[in-house]
């Protein structure tokens, strides 16, 4: 029995076809405006960026605490965080298995592998990963937020039009970060090197100290952006086509 049995497929497939491209174009329009870019960075992409740092910390075994403009990362790994995350991933796998949702099982397996390699890495490698995980994590988190638009009926993500709000936030976070590194591809002077007041060195400056060249930073961030965009477009095309087929048969 489908979770989408009460949807109006004739309306829903049109919303799915238009909403995602419109959100990305709107985010891009804001990004090219200096004022819009400032508002976008301050209110919509900063939190996903800090969550990216924190999530990378959790997967490498650190009890990272995200905050406004800065994520606190302890010097030592935490057994509690490591075990808690492992149990959480196991619960996701069990949920997927018992509800016949193999995509959840695959996500849990991928998360488990990431945690294994993260928690067994050297401290220096983990620190570099956490630094890289700011913008990289914002790209991933932005993509996941946009994908919530395709939540099935009955999901809490659809309550009160929540999926629309998450779509806008996700698009803003993704575009804001992706455009930084797209511009940097054309001119490395666009890379935000330097020091942030009351925070310290910016992420690119830290990566530069770790031996990453500007070209390597640009390449690696844009690779994450490309993978996220390809995944997003594939899900968008599949979900839109799937709902249109339901509309045709309705």
Instruction: For residue 1, name the pLDDT band (cuts at 50, 70, 90).
Output: very low
Q: Is the pLDDT of residue 215 over 90?
A: yes
CA atoms within 13 A on the CB side of 126: 25
CA–CA distances in Å: residue 168 to residues 23, 84, 143, 196, 209? 6, 31, 11, 27, 35
Return d(Cα 228, Cα 9) in angstroms, integer.
Answer: 27
Q: Are 81 and 61 in contact (CB under 8 A)?
A: yes
pLDDT digits (tens, 9 = 90+) for 101-152: 898 899 999 999 999 999 999 999 999 999 999 999 999 999 999 999 998 7
| pLDDT tier at 4, thresholds 50, 70, 90 | very low
The pTM assigned to this predicted structure is 0.91
- Beta-carbon neighbour count of residue 176 at 10 Å? 25
Average pLDDT over residues 178-183: 96
Q: What is the pLDDT of residue 233?
A: 96
What's the average model confidence in pLDDT over 192-207? Answer: 90
Q: What is the pLDDT, as a whole number, of residue 132?
A: 97
* Domain residue spans of the chain: 9-59+123-249
- Are 162 and 137 in contact by the 8 Å Cβ rule? The answer is no
Task: Tell whether the model's pLDDT for residue 231 goes beyond 70.
Answer: yes
Residue that wins the pLDDT comparison between 250 and 129: 129
Unique residue bearing structure tokens 């819009």: 36
Q: Residue 239's pLDDT is what? A: 94
Residue 140: CB partners within 8 Å, gap ≥ 6? Answer: 52, 224, 228
Residue 99 pLDDT > 80, yes or no? yes
pLDDT value for 6: 60
Mean residue pLDDT across the chain: 92
Q: CB under 8 Å to 61, separation ≥6 — which residues?
A: 77, 78, 81, 82, 118, 119, 126
Length of the chain: 250
Top pLDDT among 42 and 53 is at 53
Give the residue-averaged pLDDT of 27-44.
Answer: 88
The partner residues of 201 in beta bridges, in order of sequence, read 195
Share of the chain above pLDDT 70, in %: 97
Q: Distance (Å, rounded) from C-alpha 187 to C-alpha 47?
A: 26
pLDDT category of residue 85 using cuts at 50, 70 and 90: very high
| R_g (Cα) of the chain, nearest Å | 19
Structure tokens, 177: 């970060």
């Amino acid at each position: 029995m489908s979770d989408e049995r009460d949807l109006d497929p004739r309306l829903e497939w049109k919303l799915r076809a238009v909403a995602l491209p419109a959100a990305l174009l709107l985010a891009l329009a804001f990004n090219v405006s200096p004022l819009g870019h400032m508002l976008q960075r301050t209110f919509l992409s900063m939190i996903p960026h800090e969550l990216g740092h924190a999530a990378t910390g959790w997967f490498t075994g650190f009890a990272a605490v995200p905050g406004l403009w800065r994520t606190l990362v302890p010097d030592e790994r935490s057994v509690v965080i490591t075990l808690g995350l492992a149990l959480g991933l196991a619960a996701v796998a069990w949920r997927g298995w018992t509800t016949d949702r193999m995509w959840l099982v695959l996500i849990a397996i991928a998360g488990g592998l990431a945690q294994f390699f993260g928690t067994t890495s050297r401290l220096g490698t983990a620190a570099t990963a956490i630094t890289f995980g700011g913008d990289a994590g914002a790209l991933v988190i932005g993509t996941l937020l946009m994908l919530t638009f395709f939540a099935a009926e009955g999901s809490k993500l659809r309550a009160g039009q929540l999926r629309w709000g998450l779509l806008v936030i996700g698009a803003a976070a993704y575009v804001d970060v992706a455009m930084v590194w797209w511009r940097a591809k054309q001119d490395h002077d666009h890379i935000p090197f330097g020091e942030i007041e009351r925070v310290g060195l910016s992420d690119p400056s830290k990566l530069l100290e770790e031996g990453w060249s500007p070209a390597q930073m640009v390449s690696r961030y844009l690779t994450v952006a490309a993978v996220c965009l390809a995944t997003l477009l594939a899900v968008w095309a599949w979900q839109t086509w799937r709902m249109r087929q339901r509309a045709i048969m309705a």
